Amino acid sequence: MSKVIWKFGDDISTDIIYPGRYMATVLPTETPAYAFDDNKELNKMLVNKEVPAQSIIVADKNFGCGSSREQAASALRGHELIIVAKNFSRIFLQNCINLGLQTVVCPEIEADKGDELEIKSGKLINKTTGKEFAIIPHAPAQQEIIDAGGLIAYTRKRLFEMNK
């Protein structure tokens, strides 16, 4: 079970997630410092590690729209967050999968900051309100990549298995 640390509405662009002025910073070890940098409260919580790993950010429709910058997904992955949204921008979602960021597509999600959520058996349960919501699972190949920790880790694993 994890707690919702922030709730966003529709159309959260990659520029909100990872402002363009930091595009020269590309190392996965450095990008997390700039996650939501224009939202000082959220950025401070993340940078100061005031929230545990597997904390949840909830959003409505079109999370990750705009630029296809990979740093937006990298910045979130560095904080070990789970992103639950009604839907995601296609390119952003693929960047998340490639980097092993946990994303959950839940078209009917109802949750607010502070709610406790549990993902179990193809559904999302809001323990605070008692409501349950269906999730749209990732394709099996996508889930394998996420479970491996990203595309590089997945590829290494597959190459290792082939060379046994």
pLDDT exceeding 90 applies to what percent of the chain?
Answer: 89
**Is 45 a member of any domain?**
yes
**Is 51 a member of any domain?**
yes
Above 80 in pLDDT, residue 164? no
pTM summary value: 0.94
Give the CA distances from residue 161 to residues 140, 150, 156, 157, in Å, rounded to whole numbers and listed in that order: 18, 17, 9, 6
**Is 42 a member of any domain?**
yes
User: Residues near 20 by Cβ (< 8 Å), separated by ≥ 6?
Assistant: 67, 69
**Is 77 a member of any domain?**
yes
Task: Return the DSSP state at 67.
Answer: -
Number of domains in the chain: 1
d(CA 94, CA 43): 24
Query: Residue 163's pLDDT is what?
Result: 83
Query: Residue 65's pLDDT is what?
Result: 97
1 or 128, higher pLDDT: 128
**Is 156 a member of any domain?**
no
**Is 144 a member of any domain?**
no
CATH number of the domain that residue 57 is part of: 3.20.19.10
**Is 41 a member of any domain?**
yes
- Domain holding 53, by residue range, is 2-137
Q: Which helix (H) or strand (E) holds 103?
A: strand 102-105
Mean pLDDT computed over 18-27: 91
Residues pairing with 88 in the sheet: 63
**Is 146 a member of any domain?**
no
pLDDT classification of 147: cutoffs 50, 70, 90: very high
